[in-house]
């Protein structure tokens, strides 16, 4: 009996211990908190919604639904785009340019000053090389564009201040090319304003920039073909960081016409005119129409870039801080300016943080996700709170797209604007 009583006591103690463990795993039912964040699980990026202290299922559903609430409809976004355009001079309405004088074209070309004392591949760029580059602009042969030739970007194009592939770097180490302005994505419409002396470059106006692109990246387009590719009401939007079609890269935000269950890729024909190629793209990489503008979709799109290398001006086929933001918001139909200096004045409700301390900044930032945080020359996407820490994701100049904790960081210290896109 004594032995049996010991067994019974031991059994009861084990049951009690098990109940304590189970109770510790259960929520304490004091509050409802939803932390929305992204984790990397091997090579798969997925969204985890951590629900702590959950008791009221109706309340949980309401909070979860907030992540999928439509922030702005597509019609509202179109109105929003008009407001953005009216606040900046760095967006170009190509439809408004029917002709252009040679003086107007010359002014666009001459807006860029060539950097001096720069390096390329470890060697100082000589005055002879600089003069050759300037001469290649062929500015003495600019003509009035009585009818502007339209074009379509058929492969990812580097838009440059000058018609050359020579990089202009501050040091002997190739880092930031000072004449790389931006990347132009496939199926971007352009106006062709001038040609270089060596016949290898076009000077173009795009919706976000003017500059030089290599001719093999542009196909000539009639008004009918231009309208088919740029203004087609049936389209798909790339929602992955990029999709590869042979040697063509389709970046996030690229729009393609969608006809008879096929996506139409612009190609350059032998006569330099634009042609049409039917392609298939899996539904997890392209969406029919724009994505709904919701908190969840913004964060999901942002994290598709996690770990991607930083690329100044898009030179190395990736993103920098402002194109990272621009491409994400393209998937919802927004037209943002390219540079942070214009974005932080035009893309939404701007709240100054200049005279705020860190706690005041965090109080203003709380519950604004997804929102944009700007410091001089840099932009970050605020995505919310995880484990009582404020998180951002951004294309960081020190190497890659990464998530960072905002609290007590130099990022928090240096941010001077909060921008709400709603």
- Output the pTM of the full model: 0.86
Say yes or no: 118 and 145 in one domain: yes
Say yes or no: 282 and 337 in one domain: no
Say yes or no: 19 and 46 in one domain: yes
Residues in contact with 227: Cβ distance below 8 Å, sequence separation at least 6, in sequence order? none
Q: What is the pLDDT of residues 110-135, one digit of tens each?
A: 999 999 999 999 999 999 999 999 99
How is residue 165 annotated by DSSP?
-
> What does the pLDDT read at residue 316?
86
Say yes or no: 241 and 328 in one domain: no
> What does the pLDDT read at residue 61?
53
DSSP-derived secondary structure for 12-74: HHHHHHHHHHHHHHS--SS--EEEEEEEEETTEEEEEEEEES---HHHHHHHHHHTTS-SB-H
Answer yes or no: is 85 within a domain: no
Domain that holds residue 195: 97-289
> What does the pLDDT read at residue 294?
97
Residue finishing a domain among 248, 263, 289: 289
Say yes or no: 111 and 25 in one domain: no
The two structure tokens encoding residue 291: 């994505």
| Intervals of the chain under pLDDT 70 | 1-65
Total of domains in the chain: 2
Say yes or no: 419 and 399 in one domain: yes
How is residue 177 annotated by DSSP?
-
Answer yes or no: is 59 within a domain: yes
Of 141, 113, 114, the residue nearest 130 (C-alpha):
114
> What does the pLDDT read at residue 30?
27
Residue finishing a domain among 248, 266, 289: 289
Answer yes or no: is 87 within a domain: no
Say yes or no: 296 and 281 in one domain: no
Say yes or no: 70 and 123 in one domain: no
The two structure tokens encoding residue 63: 């909070």
Q: What is the pLDDT of residues 90-117, one digit of tens each?
A: 999 999 999 999 999 999 999 999 999 9
Say yes or no: 133 and 44 in one domain: no
């Amino acid at each position: 009996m004594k032995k049996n009583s010991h067994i019974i006591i031991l059994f009861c103690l084990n049951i009690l211990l098990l109940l304590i463990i189970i109770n510790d795993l259960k929520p304490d039912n004091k509050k409802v908190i939803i932390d929305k964040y992204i984790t990397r699980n091997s090579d798969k990026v997925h969204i985890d919604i951590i629900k702590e202290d959950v008791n009221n299922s109706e309340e949980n559903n309401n909070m979860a639904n907030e992540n999928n609430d439509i922030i702005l409809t597509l019609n509202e976004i179109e109105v929003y785009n008009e407001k953005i355009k009216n606040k900046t001079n760095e967006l170009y309405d190509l439809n408004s340019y029917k002709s252009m004088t040679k003086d107007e074209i010359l002014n666009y070309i001459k807006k860029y000053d060539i950097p001096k004392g720069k390096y390329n591949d470890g060697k100082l760029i000589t005055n002879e090389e600089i003069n050759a580059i300037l001469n290649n602009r062929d500015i003495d042969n600019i003509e009035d564009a009585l009818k502007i030739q339209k074009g379509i970007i058929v492969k990812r194009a580097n838009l440059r201040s000058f018609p050359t592939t020579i990089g202009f770097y501050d040091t002997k180490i190739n880092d930031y090319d000072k004449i790389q302005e931006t990347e132009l994505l496939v199926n971007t419409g352009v106006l062709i304003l001038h040609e270089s002396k060596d016949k290898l470059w076009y000077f173009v106006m795009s919706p976000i920039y003017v500059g030089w692109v290599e001719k093999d990246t542009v196909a000539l387009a009639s008004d009918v073909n231009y309208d088919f590719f740029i203004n087609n009401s049936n389209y798909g939007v790339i929602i992955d960081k990029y999709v590869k079609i042979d040697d063509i890269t389709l970046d996030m935000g690229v729009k393609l016409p969608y006809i008879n269950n096929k996506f139409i890729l612009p190609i350059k024909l032998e006569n330099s005119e634009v042609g049409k190629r039917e392609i298939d793209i899996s539904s997890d990489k392209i969406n029919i129409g724009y994505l709904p503008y919701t908190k969840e979709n913004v964060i999901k799109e942002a994290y598709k870039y996690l770990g991607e290398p930083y690329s100044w001006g898009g030179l190395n086929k990736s993103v920098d801080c402002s194109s990272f933001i621009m491409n994400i918001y393209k998937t919802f139909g927004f037209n943002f300016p390219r540079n942070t200096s214009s974005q932080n004045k035009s893309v939404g409700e701007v709240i100054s943080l200049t005279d705020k301390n860190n706690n005041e900044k965090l109080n203003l930032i709380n519950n604004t996700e997804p929102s944009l945080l700007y410091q001089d020359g840099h932009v970050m996407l605020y995505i919310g709170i995880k484990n009582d820490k404020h998180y951002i994701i951004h294309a960081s100049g020190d190497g890659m797209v990464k998530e960072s904790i905002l609290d007590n960081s130099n990022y928090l210290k240096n941010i001077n604007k909060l921008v709400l896109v709603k």
